[in-house]
Structure 1
Amino acid sequence: MATYESLIKITGSVGDLVFYTLNGKNIVRKKSGFNKNAFKKSPSYEKVRQNSSEFGHCSKVGKTIRQALDSFIKAAEDPLLYQSFAKLMTEIKDLDIVSGRGKRSVKNGISLQEGKDLLRKFQFGKLPNLEAIASISFDLWENNLQINKRFEADEVIIVTLKMDFDLYSIEKFEEIISLKQQSESIKFEKHFSDDDLILYFIVLKNIGEIVNMGFV
């Protein structure tokens, strides 16, 4: 991009040059080599189209989940959380080996144990996750959250998420349970079928402050 001096103001394109005015200055630049039609149809752009499709999918899934948990993850005070979480979604999507390139999904990746492990290991800012101190087991009518009682907390918030990966929407339920008189196994409500793909997000608080949070 360059500026130019001329008695005649030119607007538009001449050959491979484009002329326009920006902030009161006359600007001239070369035409971009990018062609929208070629991007959509040309075989040479196939890999770029595939990457773009998967990137958009991962970004939408990540944004949907973050928005559902926004009231909690604000406590992480991490301005770049959206980037690290989008990266996590990409890593989980890469585990999908049943779909063709360009159609790999977070849903297929997170259905695998490796995908669930990546989700559990993710840390929201400086707040420690619950990978080593909490786990969930399932009974016929209810679920059980096991928390290591050596950990100091007086309240747990259990967020149950059912993600629609096609519509990029979420159904969620929150339960707040006092830990002051609870055993290591905490029973909580089963909101969805065991056949659904459910995510469980746990927040531990002590004297009103979040001390740990993450997926289990």
Structure 2
Amino acid sequence: MAQQKSILKLKGTIGGITFYKSKDGYLAREKGGVDASRIANDPGFARTRENGAEFSNAASAGKLLRDAVRVLGKDASDGRVTARLTQVMAQIKNMDEANARGERHVGEGMAKDEAKALLNGFNFNENAVLGAVLYTPFSVDAATGEIKIVSLNPQNDISLPSGASHVVLKSGFASINFLTGESEMTVSAPVRIATNAAEQAVSLKPATAPAIEGTHFYLLSIDFVQSVNNADYSLNNNSYNVLAIVGIE
């Protein structure tokens, strides 16, 4: 690459030379790479096409899961969640033993217990991992999606960020069909607890179970807020909020 020295700084492509701005200043480089039509048709790029198709399937599966849980996940995710989830989906795709290379599908791999184990415990916000925030055990009812905490003492059982006045807990019960692209999720009513509240039992039960056939995902959401004059405000752009997969059937 070459650095632009002229007074006039360029951006774009002229005569096969691409001009662009980077952290190192205004640069120029010759346009390279293989023509797209050659990749799409040349037998020598068969492996490239196969890898591309399978990567696309893994990325689409990750997006399907993210979209399905978005009602919970919009306030609890990190900047790398898309890449992290795609990586897991690619491993699950590799478990498909029914299809040839280039046609392997996350939906086929997901039927295996090993695939479900890869996703179970996945944290959508790696800055707030469930195991580092909630210290008390809970149970999950696979039929109803209900999550129960027998005894929760916020001061002892939750890692409370500075400034939080309340913690809000919710559960999600999702059914996702990775073969058809269908998904449905139901969410429990939020349980809002003051951080100085006394020990209590917590039940998070969605009103109904999802109706579509698919892989069942059980999720636990923990949000932290500061209440001022009866209005809740998120802390530090939701960076403390938790969303984790706590069960898969």
TM-score (norm 1): 0.67
Could you tell me how far 1:43 is from its partner in structure 2?
2.4
Matched residue, 1:165: 178
Matched residue, 2:140: 135
Matched residue, 2:218: 200
Higher normalized contact order (CA 8 Å, seq sep 6+, divided by chain length): 2
Q: Secondary structure at the match of 2:141?
A: strand
The 1:34–1:206 alpha-carbon spacing in structure 2 relative to 1, beyond 3 Å, is closer
Query: Which one has a bigger Cα radius of gyration?
Result: 1
Of all paired residues, the percent bearing the same amino acid is 18
Bigger mean CA deviation after superposition, 68-77 or 44-53: 68-77
Bigger mean CA deviation after superposition, 147-156 or 63-72: 147-156
2:172–2:218 CA contact under 8 A, matched in 1: yes
Alignment map for 1:16-35 (pairs within 5 Å): 18-19=15-16, 22=19, 29=30, 32=32, 34-35=34-35
Could you tell me how far 1:97 is from its partner in structure 2?
1.9
Could you tell me how far 1:103 is from its partner in structure 2?
1.5
2:188–2:205 CA contact under 8 A, matched in 1: no
Aligned length: 197
In structure 1, the gaps of 5 or more residues are 4-11
Distance 1:28 1:211 in 2: 43
Distance 1:76 1:97 in 2: 34
Distance 2:214 2:33 in 1: 46
Q: Secondary structure at the match of 2:150?
A: coil
The 1:118–1:135 alpha-carbon spacing in structure 2 relative to 1, beyond 3 Å, is farther
2:171–2:206 CA contact under 8 A, matched in 1: no
**Deviations 1:129-157 (CA, angstroms, capped at 9, x unpaired):** 47x7443333xxxx253535355578642
Matched residue, 1:189: 208
1:145–1:188 CA contact under 8 A, matched in 2: no
Matched residue, 1:213: 243
Alignment map for 1:96-135 (pairs within 5 Å): 96-124=96-124, 125-129=126-130, 133-135=138-140
TM-score (norm 2): 0.60
Matched residue, 1:47: 47
